[in-house]
Amino acid sequence: MQTNECSLREKSIVFIGFMGVGKTTIGKLVAKKLYRSFIDIDEAIEQEYQMPVPEIFKTIGEKEFREKEKQLIQHYAGQKLKIISVGGGAFMQKEVREACMADCIVIYLDITWDVWKNERLHMLMESRPVLQGRSMEEIEDLFNKRKMIYAEHSSKVSTDHLTEEEIAEYITDSLKVSWKMNE
Ligand SMILES: Nc1ncnc2c1ncn2[C@@H]1O[C@H](COP(=O)(O)OP(=O)(O)O)[C@@H](O)[C@H]1O
Ligand SMILES: O=C(O)C1=C[C@@H](OP(=O)(O)O)[C@@H](O)[C@H](O)C1
Ligand SMILES: [Mg+2]
C-alpha cells in the first residue's frame, strides 16, 4: 500500500521523549538492526558548531540552538529510510512536530517520572543545560509539560525496567509486523 509520497516501509523513523529516556541510544541500535543510517540531531548540531550542547547553550544561546534544531529536523524528516533521534525539547516547536508527523513514523519513548528521577537524572545533570539550576519541583513540572507535547506521536513504547537492547528489539519487531501487514 502506498501512502502520500513513499511507502510505509520507506518512511523515516523519529524518536521523541524526555531527556535521558534513551532516544540516542535506542535510535542507534534500531538503525543498526534495520541497516539504516542514523542521525542524532544534537550530534549534528554539535558538529556544525564544533562544540558540545552545554557550550552552545552558554556561548550562542538556546534561541539559536532551537533554530538550528528546527532546520536540521525539517531537512532530515523530509528524507526516506532514516532513523532520527531528536532532542527532548525539539517537539516544543510546532514546525518540528508538523514536519515529523507529516513525513515520518514518530515513536515516543515513554518513561515514568519515578524511574526517570531514580535511574536517569544523576547521569544527565552535567550534559543537559535545561536541567541545570532547576529545583526538583521545576524539573517535575517540565517533565509533565513535555509529556503533553509528546502526546502527538505515531506509536508509544513504555521503557520502564527494560534494557536498551530489549526496547530496540521490540521496536524493530513491531515495525516489521506493521510493514508486513501493510504490504
Ligand atoms: N532502557 C535503558 N536502561 C538503562 N539505561 C538506559 C536505557 N536507555 C538509555 N539509558 C542510558 O541513559 C543515558 C541517556 O541515554 P540517551 O540515549 O542519551 O537518552 P536521550 O537521547 O533520550 O537523552 C545513557 O547513559 C544510556 O545508556
Ligand atoms: O529537552 C531538551 O530541551 C534538550 C534535550 C537534549 O537532548 P536529549 O533529549 O537527547 O537529552 C538536548 O537537545 C538539549 O540539551 C536540550
Ligand atoms: Mg539524545
How many domains would you assign to the chain?
1
Residue 4 has pLDDT above 60, yes or no: no
Residue whose grid cell is 534544531: 69
Residue 23 has pLDDT above 70, yes or no: yes
Q: What are the phi and psi torsion angles at 18 (to 5°)?
A: -65, 155
The CATH number of the domain holding residue 104 is: 3.40.50.300
Query: Does the CB atom of residue 111 touch ligand 1 within 6 A?
Result: no
* 147 found inside a domain: yes
Q: What is the side-by-side strand order in the sheet with 155-158?
A: 37-40, 82-85, 12-16, 104-110, 155-158
* 175 found inside a domain: no
Q: Which of 86, 122, 125, 164 to mutate to test the pocket of ligand 1 (most atoms within 8 A of CB)?
A: 164
Per-residue pLDDT of 99-134, as tens digits, reads 999 999 999 999 999 999 999 999 999 999 999 999
* 3 found inside a domain: no
Between CA 62 and CA 114 the distance in angstroms is: 28
* 29 found inside a domain: yes
Which among 67, 40, 65 has a CA at the least distance from the CA of 53?
65
* 103 found inside a domain: yes
Is 97 annotated as belonging to a binding site?
no
Confidence of residue 2 (pLDDT cuts 50, 70, 90): very low
Per-residue pLDDT of 53-85, as tens digits, reads 999 999 999 999 999 999 999 999 999 999 999
Global pTM value: 0.97
Is 146 annotated as belonging to a binding site?
yes
* 12 found inside a domain: yes
Which residue's alpha carbon is at the smallest distance from atom 3 of ligand 2? 89
* 1 found inside a domain: no
Query: Does the CB atom of residue 22 touch ligand 2 within 6 A?
Result: no
Q: Which domain holds residue 131?
A: 8-167
Which among 92, 159, 161, 116 has a CA at the least distance from the CA of 20?
116
Which DSSP letter does residue 118 get?
A: I
Is 22 annotated as belonging to a binding site?
yes
Query: Does the CB atom of residue 12 touch ligand 1 within 6 A?
Result: no
* 182 found inside a domain: no
Nearest ligand to the C-alpha atom of residue 163 = 1
Query: Does the CB atom of residue 42 touch ligand 2 within 6 A?
Result: yes
